[in-house]
Amino acid sequence: MQQVKAGDVVKVHYTGKLTSGEQFDSSTGREPLEFTVGAGQMIKGFDDAMPGMLIGDKKTINIAPTDAYGERTEEAIIEFPKENVPADMKLEPGMTLTLSNQMGQPVPVIVVEVRESVIILDANHFLAGKELIFDIELIEIA
C-alpha cells in the first residue's frame, strides 16, 4: 500500500481539540480537508504527522504550541488609535475585529480594552500558546 510522503496531495478528516477537551474545529459533516504534505499549508505538527500514513489509518496527535500557532507574544498586543474607528461603532472587550496588515491581508484581532484615545487589541492567533490535539483519518492520497 502507498504511504504518504512529502509532496503528496492528501485528503483527511480531522477533529481539533484543546487539552480541556473543547473542540475548536472539525471536518465532520464537510468535505475532507485537502492539502499538499510538506508544502507549509498546514501547521507544522499536523504536516509532520502525515508521512508514513496509509489510506484508512487513524491517529491522534498532540501538537505543542511551537509546532502549532506559536506562543502568545506581547508584541501582538496593539494600541490602536480610537480616531481610526467609525464613531458609530460600539466597541466592547471580547469583540472580534478585522484589520489589514501591510500586504492588505486580513488579521483578526480581539478587543481587550477600550480607553479614552486608544483601543487595546490582541492580534495573537486564538490558538496561540495552546497545545492542540487532532484526531486524523487519512481518506485519500491523490
Residue 95, phi then psi, degrees to nearest 5: -65, 145
Asked whether residue 23 is assigned to any structural domain, the reply reads yes
Q: CA 139, 2, 43, 20 torsion: positive or negative?
A: positive
CATH of the domain at 23: 3.10.50.40
| Residue 31 in this model has a pLDDT that exceeds 90 | yes
Do residues 48 and 23 share a domain?
A: yes
How far apart CA 104 and CA 38 sit, in angstroms, is 26
Which amino acid type is present at position 22? E
For the domain that residue 80 is a member of, what is the CATH number?
2.40.10.330
Whole-model pTM? 0.84
Note the helical H segments in 1-142. 44-48
d(CA 84, CA 100): 13
Number of domains within the chain: 2
Shared domain for 65 and 135, answered yes or no, is yes
The pLDDT score that the predictor gives to residue 60 is 98
C-alpha cell at 51: 508521512
Q: What pLDDT shows up at residue 72? A: 96
* 2, part of any domain: no
Let me know whether 87 and 51 are in one domain.
Answer: no
Residue 115 lies in a domain: yes
Note whether 78 and 62 are same-domain residues.
Answer: no
What pLDDT band is residue 102 in, cutting at 50, 70 and 90? confident
Question: Domain containing 110: what range?
Answer: 74-122
Based on the fold, state whether residues 86 and 56 are members of the same structural domain: no
**Residue 100 scores a pLDDT above 90:** no
**54 in the same domain as 13:** yes
